[in-house]
Amino acid sequence: MAEKESGVIQGILDNGEPEERNAQAINSRADDVAATIMMDAARFDPALSHEAKEYLRDQRALVRLQVHHFEEERVLGIEALKRKRYFDHMRMSFQVFMALVATAIGLAAILMVWDAVHSRSVVIDEFEVSANAVGQVPNGRIISSGLLDVLTRIQVATRTSAERRSLSNAWTNDIAIEVPETGISIGQIENVLKTRFGHDQHISGDVVITEEGNLALTVRGPGILAKTFLDNRRNIDKLLTQAGEYIYGQSQPGLWANYLASNDRDDDAIQFAQHAYPTLSASEKPYVLNDWAIAIVDKGDPGASEKGLMLYRETLRLKPDFWTGYNNVMTTLTAMGDEEGTVRTGEQLMRVAGGRPGRAPEIEYQNYDQQVWDLTAWIASNIADMESHGGIGTNASATGVVNLNIAQYEAWRHDVDTAAVRIKTTVVNSRSAPDISSSAMSKAVLAEEIGDLKAAAAEWDNYAAAYKNPTVSILNPMYMCYAAPTYEKTGQSAKADAALDAPIKATGYSTFVDCYRFKGDVLELRGDWTGAQAWYAKAIKLAPSIPSGYYSYGMALFKHNDLTGALEQFRLANQKGPHWADPLKAWGDVLAKQGHRAEALDRYNEALKYAPNWTQLKQARALAEKADS
């Protein structure tokens, strides 16, 4: 093994020619032969024997010298191999590094091209300022910045609607100013690529002083007809606002209609929709119709709900998966007193969406959840909507602070502590009727839940004041009826009657399940049991798919000790609203009174799934569990 290693190393280190190495080998063999002959002869000749000893001594010294030399050569050979291996590694690492650099450059180029192809930004080019306007208006870049501010403000206000439309275009991405550069830069290369392959929308314009002395601002862009805006007072900010609204309306009519309808510019929204609708693309029409309807309903003119409903239904004909359209149909049907129609529309939404959860966002079921008393689903969808929209929610402008609406539903779900915290930590806009009404109702419902009827009645007074505003009464006209039982229990019968009559006076509609069932409650409190039963029956007949009529009737029957009748009503209420805890608890209460503790415990356990923080429910369950054991 050592000989092999020596041979390998020697072969690596030996730089001689093959002929020289062969000659050395021959000479070495010749010396070996001569040494053998001499040693054989030295056995018979003393003089020769002495010479042989000297020769062997010299050979030994030579061998030692060769071994020492060989060791040095071996060490040098190993060091040379190490250096060679190091430089090989360095060369390989450098090659890998260069390959990575080339790959990175290639990927960067691909990304630049990909970004260019998918670029959908609005680019505001620097405006031209005529010679006669220089010094009287800001420079072109500042004017472009002013237009950018206007467009950004509109974009922010409509971004929620764009997200709900899954819209991807220039107006939901970046809006920026492009200023010409000198020289060649990566930025310029990107601009060239975007110009060649992208879909950016460039807006340009100019500013001049007319012969009449007016300041004239002209804007133009792809697909946008050039338009000039004049102002004799030379108010550039006013012109930029007009120009920005014009540009946005021309390029994104659906979002512009939403912006107008969402900012209390109902007349502008209606006028814009009427003029724009005939020329809209098929994809834009459902959205413009939707906001057109919103503006009509918000105005509250006679027949507004019917007109709005017609437009909402047309949006669904044009776009069967227009989820917001279903929600708006349900909202309008509810406001018109057709709550059974609301349930039917919610069921249609589920079918089209492929079940629930399905393709439709959960927030679009809120009206349906309200009718079938699926409080858990309603709360979850509204919390998610609020948190995903800056803590405000998409319905805040119409229904008030969404956090207060959630508190109201949490109180209905008997989650007292959570509702109280939401109410205490929410800032109310004292100039917003929806905010005031949401605050009053959430506090009233919470006060009723904890048994403070006096405080509840006071909050219903606050709600009644806000209810006079059509913005409040049109959207949820039935809510005023909730005050009637509280007023009656606190000895304010006149207010109870006024609360029950409020919806028809405010909206012209009176067919609401809640108003019918609460009319029954009021009559029952007054001792008119026959009249009360008649109104409970009317509530059930009015909307047989809604559980609240059955529940109220069942509670009244239970109060009158008709356990069999109450049990049937609670069973039906649970059938229509399987996620509502109240009928389940009441059902369990009846069973417990009948002595069916095990069955009562089953109902209580089921109810706890939908009202996990209901104190009275937990107490009833504990009693049933103790009795059953």
Q: Is the pLDDT at 165 greater than 80, yes or no?
A: no
Residue range 183-192, pLDDT digits in tens: 555 555 656 5
**What pLDDT, on a 0 to 100 scale, did the predictor assign at position 59?**
72
pLDDT of residue 9: 40
How far CA 612 is from CA of 373, 582, 609, 615, in Å, comes to: 16, 12, 6, 9
- pLDDT for the residue numbered 12: 40
Q: How many CA atoms lie within 13 A of 156 on its CB side?
A: 6
| Element holding 347 (H helix, E strand) | helix 339-353
| Predicted local distance difference test score (pLDDT) of residue 582 | 98
Q: Give the residue from 558, 478, 489, 549 showing the smallest Cα distance to 517.
A: 549
| pLDDT at residue number 299 | 87
* Contacts of residue 270, Cβ cutoff 8 Å, sequence gap at least 6: 292, 295, 296, 299
pLDDT at 16 > cutoff 50: no
Q: Is the pLDDT of residue 175 over 70?
A: no
And the tokens for 312?
């909402």
Q: What is the pLDDT of residue 32?
A: 60
| 3-class secondary structure per residue, 148-172 | HHHHHHHHHHHHHHHHHCCCCCHHH
Name the more confident of 172 and 54. Answer: 54
> What integer pLDDT is reported at residue 118 of this predicted model?
59
Q: Which amino acid is it at 629?
A: S
Whether 399 and 409 have beta carbons less than 8 Å apart is answered as no
Mean pLDDT over 550-554 rounds to 98
The alpha carbon of residue 269 and the mean position of all alpha carbons in its chain are separated, in whole angstroms, by 27
Higher-scoring residue by pLDDT: 592, 162: 592
- Check if the beta carbon of residue 238 is closer than 8 Å to that of residue 224: no
If pLDDT is split at 50, 70 and 90, which confidence band does 510 have?
A: very high
4, pLDDT greater than 50? no
CB 406 within 8 A of CB 422: yes
Instruction: Say if residue 441's pLDDT is above 90.
Output: yes
Per DSSP, the three-state class of 617 is helix
Q: How confident is the model at residue 204 (pLDDT cuts 50, 70, 90)?
A: very high
Q: Are 523 and 511 in contact (CB under 8 A)?
A: no
CB 172 within 8 A of CB 155: yes
Tokens of 433: 């009727």
The helix (run of H) or strand (run of E) holding residue 230 is strand 224-231
Count of CB atoms within 10 A of residue 22's CB? 11
Question: Token pair of 14, please?
Answer: 């030996």
Q: Which residue has the higher pLDDT, 526 or 224?
A: 526
Query: What H or E segment, with its residue span, contains residue 443?
Result: helix 433-449
Of the pLDDT bands very low, low, confident and very high (cuts 50, 70, 90), residue 219 is: very high
How far apart, in whole angstroms, are the C-alpha atoms of residue 573 and residue 543? 12
Q: Residue 120: which pLDDT band, with cuts at 50, 70 and 90?
A: low
Half-sphere exposure in the Cβ direction for 176 (13 Å, CA): 9
Q: Is the pLDDT assigned to residue 476 strictly greater than 80? A: yes
Q: What percent of the chain has pLDDT over 70?
A: 82
CA 278 remoteness from chain centre: 33
Chain centre distance of CA 65: 86
Could you tell me whether strands 201-209 and 215-221 are parallel, antiparallel, or unpaired per DSSP bridges? Answer: antiparallel
What is the predicted pLDDT for the residue at 354? 97
Q: Is the pLDDT of residue 45 over 70?
A: no
Residue 41: predicted pLDDT: 61
Token representation of residue 381: 């969808």
More reliable by pLDDT, 249 or 499 = 499
pLDDT of 511 over the 90 cut: yes
Candidates 139, 474, 99; CA nearest to 309 is 474
Q: Would you state the pLDDT for residue 1?
A: 47
Mean pLDDT of 305-312: 97
- For residue 124, the SS3 value is strand
Question: What does the pLDDT average to over 521-544?
Answer: 98
Our CA dihedral for 343, 349, 355, 359, rounded to 10 degrees, sits at: -140
Q: What is the pLDDT of residues 309-319, one digit of tens each?
A: 999 999 999 99
